[in-house]
Structure 1
Amino acid sequence: MKPIFQIGKGEISENMIASVDEALKKRGLIKLALLETAPYDAREAGALLAEATGAELVQCIGRRFVLYREPEED
């Protein structure tokens, strides 16, 4: 699985949270990557996004992490 989002030097914005939320609605399981300039480590960024989207942080390895939330049915 390849990361579908990258987090860079800026803060995690409302737009980023909305995009991650939308991806979780459709896919359920997503991988994200942090660039070297990111002000967070993977565990911090994952915890922030998990809390903001109602997802679970299921894995952190290096500068990548995986979030899971039950996908919504149409």
Structure 2
Amino acid sequence: MSESLPYFESIRLARRKKGWSQRELAKQLRVGETTIRAWEKGRHRPSLALQPSLESVLGISLCQDTSCLS
């Protein structure tokens, strides 16, 4: 993903590229579907605890340093 994209767009684009629904991504991460929806709308950010799993599952890097999601 491009570094210029906001985190929520990166999440949405990576999920769609994998062909997954929000429900499928939520199951992968063991979070609620509403959590994925909130991330993708930019209302909430993934916690630092979930960030490594999210990046691994989607095959993306949300930021170069941990401060971007804190």
TM-score, length-scaled by structure 2: 0.30
Which structure has greater helix proportion? 2
Choose between structure 1 and 2: higher strand proportion.
1
Q: What TM-score do you get using the length of structure 1 for normalisation?
A: 0.29
